[in-house]
A and B are shown apart, each in its own frame.
Chain A
């Protein structure tokens, strides 16, 4: 039986507190520039957590009307910027007529964010949705004149991995020639900062923003919200090679399960998280010992990091002491629905630059996470051909994505 063509990533568009392009993001990630700061976009003195990783003004893509772009909600600006710059990065500034480009976006709270923004502007859409516009995916699809199918998908913090998986599937089916897949989240709003803060999910180290998010550290006290997004151009590898496109990596494996345990708390016996990682490795036809770098979900919450350490220990077995692991959330913050997408970018950087980015603020590893081969303090150079990115979300969503270096 003929094997399906593999799927390659040929373009990246992103915006985050560490930059608005792949190279800027890579440079800041590897020099350990923290994007976390005190929130100044709105009043936070009464919020339990007053810090976040913010992106500031999102650039207007070339060819777009600046005034029209600025009139849009920030979540729309984020989606448009990421999708357009990803296509340009892949060399698709000019696109042949009839090219079928699909669009899959991971979005978790776009409506709440748009209602809140509208309310702050004096609007009433949350009370009466008569004039409710189309969703972000539809808007981007129409604005860019795309001709493939479209999809909005949400698995909380795992949404970005889902988007890449669905985009890969559409390419395998031949439904699209190219697929834009990624995720966006502009989740740092007054209400969400309060909601997550009251949930006691956020760090309260308000006076030391850069040191606040401490994955796997004994002194961790919660995550720090971030905002941004990343969108990838996916193409069949054979097609990408024929047109001479740059290939960042291949999307080699994906696994997904659900805990069915609790709407917020991960299952303390993480059978399903383990199953998701094993599915992804099997899908990629990779043994645990062949993994060269793992970008952990590790949000810096007391419960979640220990749970993930158990998953990693079960899946890696004897390789637990040799596979480098880090959490780049310590620099980027937790981008919520877009977390998996921005962490896939971190994996691309590891593959391209042959260096694993570090977990910053990890100074005293939690004894229950001490068995991991932490990349801490400094980036660690190495031969990196296979990366794994874990993303686990509220509602017990477990996902794992395997990316391989382009051959």
Chain B
């Protein structure tokens, strides 16, 4: 018989924490007009996957490839290879406009004209798998989130994988459009938008040459509910922090469920890591 009280409710002092080190980072922001030329520059991007592969990749994946190239160049002590690394990729509304055009084509032409590229390249796992392919990563490659509220998912997963699977590093990627693209029924963009990506290289807390240390802890005083998702992307938050520039100050962010992220920056890193910042707007009403 089950009872209505819980026999062994954990206390915070019994709760474990997850720690990791930031060892490199980079950002990229690409206007929608510049995406098509980028698809023809495979030889300038990690893995040289071929223009025929990039032709079908989602814009957020392409932008992340640009950022990851810069992050690689920024390592103080670059790893010899990434074959045991993993990828955690938090995208926003991946492939929405391409999918909208597929819906239109389907309405006109029926099933035979639906592209075989939709499922492999526009599913939530797809960008992580593509980055893993480009970087030769045989560690876990997973997609997380998918909407506006996916950034905490990314932090929880990346730190957990580093802690649990004994892997040497994780590429943690946040991507999204700013503002969100809008298209007409012919697929023509109605606004100028840019695709953004923030790439962080995370390694175990013991890694040398870290730019920052991060820790996720359970805190009974921390909020249970997630904050209202930011409509700006993680990269813009990053840029805002860079502009504010308070490197000596630590930072705390709340991940929901009573989890709190703490960050401390080393002398080598004079800026801050972005996380979802507290937002003063009211909570969305319950679903």
Contacts and interface: CB of A to CB of B under 8 A. Distances in A.
Interface of A: 46-48, 90-92, 94-96, 98-100, 102, 107-112, 115-116, 119, 126-130, 132-135, 138-139, 142-143, 147-156, 159, 162, 165-166, 169, 172-177, 190-199, 236, 238-239, 242-245, 256-264, 272, 275, 393-397
B142 A154 contact: yes
A199 B120 CA distance: 10
Given A138-B226, A192-B119, A198 B112 contact: yes
Contact of A133 (B95, B160, B287): B287
A394 B120 contact: yes
Contacts of B144: 151-154
Nearest to A241: B7
A107 B124 CA distance: 8
A111 B147 contact: yes
Q: Which of B96, B120, B142, B182 has the most CB of A within 10 A?
A: B142
A174 B257 contact: no
B2 A245 contact: yes
A264 B120 contact: yes
Nearest to A98: B9
Contacts of B226: 138, 150
A227 B14 CA distance: 40
Contacts of A172: 16
B119 A258 contact: no
A181 B256 CA distance: 17
A28 to B, nearest CB: 27
Given A151-B156, A257-B139, A142 B123 contact: no
B111 A129 contact: no
Contact of A260 (B122, B132, B225, B286): B132
B257 A150 contact: yes
B185 interface: yes
Contact of A169 (B128, B130, B160): B160
Contacts of A242: 7-8
Contacts of B180: 129-130, 132
Which 9 pairs from chain A and chain B are nearest by CB? A395-B129, A91-B2, A149-B257, A194-B111, A154-B124, A174-B15, A242-B7, A126-B100, A194-B114
A133 B160 CA distance: 28
A134 B147 contact: yes
B149 A239 contact: no
Contacts of B71: none
B127 to A, nearest CB: 9
Contact of B10 (A92, A153, A177, A256): A177
B150 interface: yes
A261 B130 CA distance: 9
A99 to B, nearest CB: 6
Interface string B88-117: 000001111101101100100011101110
B182 A128 contact: yes
B88 to A, nearest CB: 9
Interface string B207-225: 0000000000010000011
A150 B121 CA distance: 25
Contacts of B138: 257-260, 272, 275
B14 to A, nearest CB: 5
A127 B185 CA distance: 8
Contacts of A115: 96, 99-100, 103
B106 A263 contact: no
Contact of A151 (B6, B157, B287): B157
Nearest to A154: B124
Interface in B168-213: 180, 182-185
B173 to A, nearest CB: 14
B70 to A, nearest CB: 21
11 contacts: A100-B10, A134-B229, A155-B125, A173-B218, A177-B8, A191-B106, A191-B114, A194-B110, A196-B119, A243-B3, A258-B132
B182 A127 contact: yes
Given A99-B6, A239-B8, A394 B129 contact: yes
Contacts of B133: 260-263, 395-396
Contact of A195 (B14, B115, B157): B115
Contact of A263 (B130, B140, B256): B130
Contact of A197 (B2, B111, B165): B111
